[in-house]
Structure 1
Amino acid sequence: MAQQRPEFMIDSWDFSTHPARHIENNFHERQNSWFHFQRDRPGISEWLRASGIPEPLIDAVLEEDTRPRFERTTEGFLLILKGVNLNEGERPEDMLSLRILYYKGNIYSFRKRPLRSVAILRERLQRQEGAESLHDFLIMLIEEVNSRLEELLDVIEAEMEVLEDNNKGWTTSMRQQKLSELHRRMLRLVRFVRPQLAAVERLGIDAQKWLESENLQWLTNERDSTQRELESLEMLLQQVGMLREQLQQEVAEKMNRNTYWLSVIAGVFLPLSFLTGVFGINIGGMPGVENELAFWIFCGALAVIAVVEFLLLRRLRFW
């Protein structure tokens, strides 16, 4: 009797022929097939057990919190990747988990939220332009994950250039705020890209035993792509550090300059304030009280003192 497609199964394809054929029924006891699942739906554990997958592997692909890793099993391997989150209203750096289980000639992949990388491959399969084999599909899946990450890095690099050139005329505080946000985004990416590189490297080492030479070279290329992405992130983090130091230096120089000019102004007006304070004493015996020109003579004297101070500070090269 034909089996009905379970609700937690998103897609399924048979790679025994080229182009791959969509699987509509009889999902168990198959070979050379790909099954894609929504991992948070009820009944998926029982279905996987019915397919003969051991309990520890079921727990590994369904657990909530994971990080990129590669683990060899007796009948295949477990590969956990992180992909860019391109869902509407989400932050791309909040990367999504994609669990890939290769077991007894089949690939089982698991998601919680949609991944653009997987959606692209499904569209190609529907147009009959997809991978020629299951191993090809695995390499293409890693390639699409890397491509989405590279696109995000291009956006981050463009934002970094805007902050460095400051073509938009942002204030220093605005640039510091945007730089801090960009820094946090890159730290989230580095957190997962570094272990992802290690996972792809371990997959490449293990694949030398069972992968064809051409696909092995493609896998090596994807490992190099992941390495470049990590190096780009590390370089951008260094640029963030340099730009942050530059902005802090600009703020410090501005404060020092303002403090300096305040000190110069205070130095000029200090003797003038002293004289005005002395002559402002309202007691008997003050000189010039009976002279109508005394006020203007005093103002002229203050002006002469201010000019002399100005020339003296200029000669001493205070600015």
Structure 2
Amino acid sequence: MTASQLSDDFIIDKWNFSAHPARKITEGEHEAQQSWFHFQRDLPGIDDWLRQSHIPEPLIDAVLAEDTRPRFERMEDGFLLILRGVNLGEGARPEDMISIRILYYKGNLYSFRRRPIRSIQIIREKLKQGTGPESLHDFLVMLIEEMNNRLEELMATIEDQMEALEDDEKGVTADRQRELTVLHRRLLRLTRFVRPQLTALERLSAESHRWLDPELVQWLTNERDTAHRVLESLEMLLEQVWMLREHLQQEVAEKMNRNTYWLSMVAGIFLPITFLSGVFGINIGGMPGVDNDNAFWIFSGVMVVIAFCEFLLLRRLRFW
């Protein structure tokens, strides 16, 4: 291995697709044709390597930019495609989707990442086993398919979580509201990237006949439809979140109204009794029953009768 190869730490993998199965590139990187290069974009020296491969400066800036959003741009000698994949890193939140930049330029495909992407790892494993994509175009479609698969797996998990939250018999309202807020944030993060990603795939699909054969064009169209379906599912889940939030808020309001109502009923029943006990609690001369040993029991009986009469009156007036 040459000294230059030892210094190219930013190259994660490189394969030549001029024949099937694809074979690893060991030398002549800058002269390779129909090849795929996978880069760690945040390591030094990568921009110089791209210049040596005659990649225009604006494209280098685009693939190495720190902040990007999904998009597709067609050029005379190829295209630039920026996508977002589910973050499956240890301890990471899957909805914090990570960026992969794909540059198809003069017959070669270049991909750039900062953090590992499971979809790329799956394709690399297949290439090592000799069962990977047969061409660069097949590689592109397979990559988009694998990224959609990871996204659909995440959506299935979120849908299960939403279904559990909709079950009124599971968990108290406060806990469900907190979980619903967390789920709402996840859905908003996903929608932030999936919506422009669908637009990028639609533009790629519309232009794909320039580079792909009809069969791959159809496969790409299928993946575009998959992304569209995922976005529709996200929008539906967001609507479900709002409906469930309103349901939980209404449930809390009904509980508060019911409790307030019963407190008001109790207060209404005891109001005259409280008034009478207050009046007869005055410690001054002239109070009736002071000299009668049975006055307390008579007074208590009168209050019970008053309470019972109020109960019957409220029942007749259908207060409950």
With structure 1 as the length reference, what TM-score do the two structures score? 0.98
> What are the within-5 Å matches in structure 2 for residues 1-319 of structure 1?
4=5, 6-166=8-168, 169-319=170-320
Distance in 2 between the 1:228 and 1:313 partners?
A: 57
For 1:81, what is the secondary structure of its paired residue?
strand
Output the CA distance in 2 between the equivalents of 1:227 and 1:189.
13
CA distance in 2, matches of 1:148, 1:62: 24
One-letter amino acid of the structure 2 residue matched with residue 284 of structure 1: G
SS at match of 1:94: coil
Question: Following the alignment from structure 1 to structure 2, what is the Cα–Cα distance between the partners of residues 163 and 241?
Answer: 12
Structure 1 SS opposite 2:5: coil
Aligned equivalents of 2:245 and 2:318: distance in 1?
32
CA-to-aligned-CA distance 1:211-252 (integer Å, 9 cap, x gap): 100000000000000000000000110110110010000001
Give the AA of the match of 1:21.
R
CA distance in 2, matches of 1:30, 1:23: 8
Secondary structure of 1:13's counterpart equals strand
SS class of match (1:71):
strand
Amino acid of the structure 1 residue aligned with 2:270: F
How far the C-alpha of 1:210 sits from its partner, in A, is 2.6
Cα distance between partner residues in 2 of 1:242 and 1:285? 65
Task: Please list every run of 5 or more consecutive structure 1 residues that lacks an aligned counterpart in the other structure.
Answer: none
Aligned residues: 318
Secondary structure at 1:66's aligned position in 2?
Answer: coil
Task: Describe the superposition over 1:244-282 as per-residue Cα deviations: whole angstroms up to 9, x where unpaired.
Answer: 010000001001101110110010000000000000000
**Inter-partner Cα distance in structure 2 for 1:4 and 1:290:** 114
- SS of the residue corresponding to residue 208 of structure 1 reads helix
Q: Indicate if the aligned counterparts of 2:137 and 2:211 stay in contact, CA closer than 8 A.
A: no
Letter in 2 for 1:90: A
Residue 143 of structure 1 aligns with an amino acid whose one-letter code is E
Gaps of 5+ in 2: none
With 3-12 and 35-44 compared, the bigger mean Cα shift is at 3-12
Q: State the AA in 2 paired with 1:220.
A: T
Q: CA deviation at 1:166?
A: 4.4
Q: Percent sequence identity over matched residues?
A: 69
1:277-316 superposed Cα distances (whole Å, 9 cap, x missing partner): 0000000000000000000000000000000000000000
Q: Matches of 1:257 and 1:184 in 2, distance apart?
A: 32
Q: Secondary structure at the match of 1:28?
A: helix
Asked if the contact 2:201–2:224 (Cα under 8 Å) also holds between the matched residues in 1, the reply is yes
How far residue 24 of structure 1 moved from its aligned partner, in angstroms, is 1.7
SS at match of 1:79: strand
The amino acid of 1:201's aligned partner reads E
The separation in 2 between residues aligned to 1:146 and 1:31, in whole angstroms, is 28
Alpha-carbon distance between aligned partners in 2 of 1:239 and 1:86, rounded to the nearest angstrom: 26
Which AA in structure 2 matches 1:191?
Answer: R
How many Å separate the matches in 1 of 2:211 and 2:156?
Answer: 35
CA distance in 1, matches of 2:198, 2:70: 8
Report the CA distance between 1:209 and its aligned residue.
2.3
Superposition CA RMSD, Å: 1.0
SS in 2 for 1:80: strand
CA distance in 2, matches of 1:298, 1:130: 95
**1:115-146 deviation line (CA, Å, top 9, x unaligned):** 00100000000111000111000000000110
| Alpha-carbon separation, structure 2, partners of 1:313 and 1:125 | 81
Instruction: Tell me, in whole angstroms, the C-alpha distance in 2 between the residues paired with 1:171 and 1:33.
Output: 57
Task: State the distance in 2 between where 1:76 and 1:256 align.
Answer: 65
Distance, in Å, in 2 between the alignment partners of 1:90 and 1:209 is 38
Deviations 1:50-91 (A, max 9, x none): 000000000000000000000011210000000000000000
